[in-house]
Amino acid sequence: MSLPKKAKQFKLYMKPIATATRQSIPKIARPVLVFALLLALPFVNKVSAQARKQPAGQVFMPYGKGNAILYNLKNGLYSVSKDKYLAYSKVNATISLNGKTISTKDYTSRTYTKTDITDGFGKGVKYIITLIGKGLNPIKQVFYTYPNHEYFITQIEAAGKGLQTNSIIPFSGNIAAVVGDARSIFVPFDNDTFIRYNAKPFTTPFSNMSAEVGAVYSNDSRNGFVVGSIEHEVWKTGIRSTAKKDSGNAIQVWAGYTENGVTRDNIAHGIISGDVIKSPKILVGYFDDWRTGMEEYAKANRIAEPPYVFNWTKPTPVGWNSWGVMQEKLTYEKATKVADFFADSLAGFRTGKTAFIDLDSYWDFMVKGGPEGDYSKLKQFADYCKSKGLEPGVYWAPFTDWGWKDGPQRKVPGSNYTFGDIWTKVGNGYHDIDGARAIDPTHPGTRERIDLIIGKLKACGFKMIKIDFLGHATAESTHFYDPTVTTGMQAYRKGMEYLIDKLGDQMLIYAAISPSMATGRYVHTRRIACDAFKTIKDTQYTLNSVSYGWWQTFLYNYVDADHVVLSTESEGANRARFLSAVITGTVITGDDFSVHGQWSERAKVWYQNPEVIKLIENGKTFKPAEGNTDENASEMFTQKIGNSIYIAIFNYGSEPKTFALDGKRLGLNSKDQYELHELLQGDILGKTLNFKLDGGDAALYKLDIDAKK
């Protein structure tokens, strides 16, 4: 629209204030005011249009670009639209209070207020719908909207005397039909028991329960719905997606979700009590690309629950961990020889000026007299690493008892309690998984044990710690030592905050087996999957978690693919395993470098490749090109850095395969000029996007876009 046309239209808005302007504004300042109001005209038009669209008895809540919530004050239902597309409809919420389940549809009176807010998400508007009904506890539906985010956040709050609940459904509604290759993701609660993500075909009849976050999308268009909890300090949350011929597609969020095969619990979710009870905050969005939605979800978690751990500002961690091959054969002599190999033969395998040499389980073989004994040999190892320009690392599982079969009367190191005192109580039994028994994170005996072990390890001078089996600390219990704690996630928060306080800022903190979302507050880096070693099957398993959990790169400083073992596998399998770590974000190796083998020679060449080191320094996980592989992994992952697109391709099968890439799918436009290079083998491919890859192999390509053309 030209300025003259704008000026003509602007006269309509000027009439009511023209006289006042002439009387109160100096003549010399009037042109400035007019120009400012002209700039504001589009916003005035937009607000006016929105006001005209808002029917009586309904609340119009805009957010992002062209998104809006339309809440019906008469029936307690709302819909969510993107431009003219109706994404969610007939949305309501329910809460179980003192054994009675009530819905937002049950109330007879609904009023609303709105307030401008500024928080970690930016400037926005907070809407509160207050619901009142005869014989019903008043509840509030709260909505947080932001013009700079393509999602909104909602929460349910109930008030009254002596309320109790362990089940709230803050969001339940229909979703529009998904066209094309429709998928619904199962996201695991943790990375234990070799559990897998699953991009399930979303066809009727269908039901899927995902932990903490869910997504329903078309793999063809990539359009998708993303809904998830962004708070994890009180509740475990499940996201159920369903498809039924009679009632259509729907998504429901359940705060209070437990299931043995997913959350590992054997009892129902703990009870929340009080005069005010709140659900977790829930993010809801519809995105042009579901992958963007998942990344925004991860970022929102980091805003809603900022890190409790100190911020890691040093380079991406790389190094070695003893569990890959040595395991229980770990000795001081072997570990120091690995340090020698890193210092003498892998000097180029660095980000910044150092690498970590990390002792996993069985480091206690170097300790005389048990946990309360002599740690001088362990300190000697840490000092040796430092003398070689390396950072020493160590391992511990703070919330498990591995010797529980030896009886309950064993003394807890560093305390006067017995292990029987501190075991997590579940009904008439205990919480056992992975061969270990959970211990109560809130118990003083657990804390005194943490004081002892962490104090000893810090005194040794360790600069990294791998903490494991953290999921044991999230178990629902019939009774925690701390009477203020009634849910597994409350216990996890208490235990982890105490642990992090004791660790201070001396060490890089790395989580292995752990909850996917709730651990983001407490650690710098987290393993994306369960144990993986050397085979092409290990690579495929790890990359299943990268295919559907890559977005956690925005929740943690780094995510990790576990120790990379080359061993005596084929060159192709070695290349695939190494690249699976590179595209996850960090590289922790696991071979026995205290002795020489083919793994040593390949490590010297690959681990010190300058182009690969640049990618590792970037520290971010690659994004999957496709999201339709069920429990398997995507074959292609990409990342754009500057004017370069990096493409990692994996052939998990045994036979050669030709890959034909879609430039548009990769983010190229038709006018882009580019040249393609393979980074590990040095091949120059020019402008082709077709590759042939041997079975059980992988390749890493760099596509350089000529920005001048």
What is the 3 state secondary structure string of 622-674?
Answer: CEECCCCCECCCCCEEEEEECCEEEEEEEECCCCCEEEECCHHHHCCCCCCCE
CA 171 to CA 88: how far, in whole Å? 11
Q: Which residues pair with 131 in a beta bridge?
A: 110, 139
- Look at residue 672 in the predicted model and tell me its pLDDT: 76
Q: Residue 572 burial by CB count (10 A; 0-12/13-18/19+): exposed, middle or buried?
A: middle
Three-state DSSP at 320 gives strand
- DSSP-derived letter for residue 411 is B
Query: Residue 684's pLDDT band (boundaries 50, 70, 90)?
Result: confident
Query: Residue 698's pLDDT band (boundaries 50, 70, 90)?
Result: very high
pLDDT of 257-275, one tens digit each? 999 999 999 999 999 999 9
**Among 310, 320, 457, which residue's Cα sits nearest to residue 390?**
320
- Look at residue 29 in the predicted model and tell me its pLDDT: 46
- Look at residue 50 in the predicted model and tell me its pLDDT: 42
The bridge status of strand 282-287 relative to strand 237-244 is: unpaired
Q: Do domains 318-614 and 636-705 have the same CATH topology?
A: no
pLDDT of 556-581, one tens digit each? 999 999 999 999 999 999 999 999 99
CA 185 to CA 285: how far, in whole Å? 15
CA 275 to CA 273: how far, in whole Å? 7
Mean pLDDT of 325-350: 97
- Look at residue 708 in the predicted model and tell me its pLDDT: 57
Question: Residue 13 pLDDT > 80, yes or no?
Answer: no
Q: Which residues are CB-neighbours of 27 under 8 A, at least 6 positions away?
A: none
Question: In CATH, what is the architecture of 58-304?
Answer: Distorted Sandwich (2.70)
- Look at residue 41 in the predicted model and tell me its pLDDT: 40
The CATH code that applies to domain 636-705 is 2.60.40.1180
The CATH code that applies to domain 318-614 is 3.20.20.70
The bridge status of strand 318-321 relative to strand 356-358 is: parallel
Query: What average pLDDT does the chain have?
Result: 91
Instruction: For residue 458, give both structure tokens.
Output: 């810090």
Mean pLDDT of 279-299: 98
List the chain domain ranges: 3-53, 58-304, 318-614, 636-705
- Look at residue 311 in the predicted model and tell me its pLDDT: 94
Say what the pTM is: 0.91
Q: Which residues pair with 439 in a beta bridge?
A: 423
Query: Residue 55's pLDDT band (boundaries 50, 70, 90)?
Result: low
Query: Residue 142's pLDDT band (boundaries 50, 70, 90)?
Result: very high
**Among 448, 443, 450, 480, which residue's Cα sits nearest to residue 465?**
450
For 490, phi then psi, to 5°, come to -65, -40
Question: Residue 45 pLDDT > 70, yes or no?
Answer: no
Question: Residue 357 pLDDT > 90, yes or no?
Answer: yes
- Look at residue 47 in the predicted model and tell me its pLDDT: 39
The answer to which of 400-409, 540-549, 616-625, 670-679 has the lowest mean pLDDT is: 670-679
